[in-house]
Structure 1
Amino acid sequence: MPNSTRTHIVTSYGEDLKRLREMIARMGGLAERQVADSALCLVRRDSDLAAEVVMRDAELDAMEREVEQYCVRLLALRQPLAADLRLIIACMKISQDLERIGDYARNGAKRAIVVSQQPMMGSLNGFERMAELVQENLKGAIDALVEDDAAKADEVWGNDEPIDGIYNGIFREMLTFMMEDPRNITSATHLLFIAKNLERIGDHATNIAERVHFAVLGESLTEERPKADISSSAVVNPPG
């Protein structure tokens, strides 16, 4: 094979992988926007914005299918090995994580519509802060992929615990509201689900970080992920 042909093939393959990273970056950007707007429509009691979040989810679904098809094409035509193979497989899985994040954001927006129709109950500061931390981790994980930065991915992987801590606080607060007044049950239940959605989005961000770590270094993280979600075993004492 002439050198010019070989160089063209290598360059073209490099462009294919660059495009794949860009596709994930675009999808990650939309997922971040969905998470941000899902939290914003809750805080502002904005049903119109919530409806937009629900409608935009179809775009994320389409992007996930596009990434999957592109990855399958690369696997079939390029027969990648080593780091390139790990990158392509990681991108397929990351697109699935991002699609799932979109589902959680959509669900949160739907519940925000219901909450907006109920009397205001307590502060939503915890939800705002939780959403901010989740977005930071999600952005950091996507940046780590684009930059081939395992250290940045590891940093995201270790940053999930504060999100769990806020979730635990919201969990206790919502249960207390429900026990104090049965009229709070509808709003508090939906808010609990919204908080859980945010907590699960945080988990998917750390999943992405784990995938980036493996794609870059070829090894899995051996330590157990730091977690602080105690909602499954929490005990709330009735007031009074």
Structure 2
Amino acid sequence: MDNRLLFHQSLNQLQRTLLEMGSRVEQLIHQAVDALARMDEPLAKHTIEQDDEIDELMIRIEENALRLIALQQPMGSDLRILSTAIKIATDLERIADHAVDIAKICVRLNGEPLVKPLVDIPKMAELAKAMLRESLLSYTERDVHRASALAGQDDEVDKLYSTVVLDVNTLMGSDFARNRQLSQLMLAAHFLERVADHTTNIGEGVIYMVTGKRKDLNT
């Protein structure tokens, strides 16, 4: 088989694995926030257990990308595509870690009733998941405009995070258990804010991959 054809087949397989990883990471975010909102400890523990599978996907992507670099010695745009795949896999693994962090908050709260139903945290999660999908689409479609638009979406997540912080500070009082829960919920919002930041990192990687120029989307 022609080496160039083999290279592109391997590249397509790498991309499919990356999209599979992204889909599973998105599911972890959904599970973690759903578990927290409903205080579903079994779901939270199931989410935590899935983290190892995400780590394995990251390792597989890194190994395959490095193997292609070593065997094919790509230059220019092909090299940027492979190095970006490695970077995206790393960001996806960190996003999964934050989903697990949120699930661990649910476990720590141990089923105690929520001070108030969660509203802004699930909104943050929906925005963050949408950003994740957009970032991966920008990679598969080599779409710089789609990647650049992530900056505006990140601002929306930041605004919701500020709202959560304000609400938590307003609800804080002298009750230690209540304050502990509120602090944990604010931490969950912080983890979602970091998820959004990692998706903008993916967007920055896509812009560099396509243009060869670096652009900061986290300004």
The C-alpha deviation readout for 1:158-192, integer Å capped at 9, x for no partner, is 31001001101111211222236333112111111
Aligned partner of 2:218 in structure 1 is: 225
Q: What stretches of structure 1 move > 6 A for 4+ residues in a row? A: none
- For 1:26 and 1:157, the matched residues in 2 are separated by 24
Q: Which runs of 5 or more structure 1 residues have no equivalent in the other structure?
A: 227-240
Are positions 1:185 and 2:179 aligned together?
Answer: yes
> Is the 2:37–2:117 contact (alpha carbons within 8 Å) kept by the matching residues of 1?
no
Percent of aligned pairs with the same residue?
Answer: 30
Three-state SS of the structure 1 residue aligned to 2:149 is: helix
Tell me by how many angstroms 1:153 deviates.
0.9
Are positions 1:130 and 2:113 aligned together?
Answer: no
Aligned partner of 2:83 in structure 1 is: 89
Alignment-mate amino acid for residue 184 of structure 1: R
- For 2:117 and 2:178, the matched residues in 1 are separated by 14
Aligned partner of 1:195 in structure 2 is: 189
- Superposition TM-score, scaled by structure 1 size: 0.87
Question: Which runs of structure 2 are paired with 1:139-178 in the superposition (5 Å)?
Answer: 139-178=133-172
Tell me by how many angstroms 1:209 deviates.
0.6
Alignment equivalent of 1:41, drawn from 35, 44, 49: 35
Tell me by how many angstroms 1:224 deviates.
5.8
Q: Which runs of 5 or more structure 2 residues have no equivalent in the other structure?
A: none
Q: Which has the larger radius of gyration?
A: 1
Alignment equivalent of 1:99, drawn from 75, 81, 93: 93
Alignment-mate amino acid for residue 155 of structure 1: A
Tell me by how many angstroms 1:55 deviates.
0.5
Are positions 1:26 and 2:16 aligned together?
Answer: no
Alignment-mate amino acid for residue 215 of structure 1: M
The C-alpha deviation readout for 1:183-236, integer Å capped at 9, x for no partner, is 311211111111110000000000001101110111111x5634xxxxxxxxxx
> Is the 2:61–2:89 contact (alpha carbons within 8 Å) kept by the matching residues of 1?
yes
Alignment equivalent of 2:104, drawn from 103, 107, 110: 110
Tell me by how many angstroms 1:26 deviates.
0.7
**How big is the alpha-carbon RMSD for the aligned residues of Structure 1 and Structure 2?**
1.4
Aligned partner of 1:231 in structure 2 is: none
- Superposition TM-score, scaled by structure 2 size: 0.95
Alignment-mate amino acid for residue 59 of structure 1: E
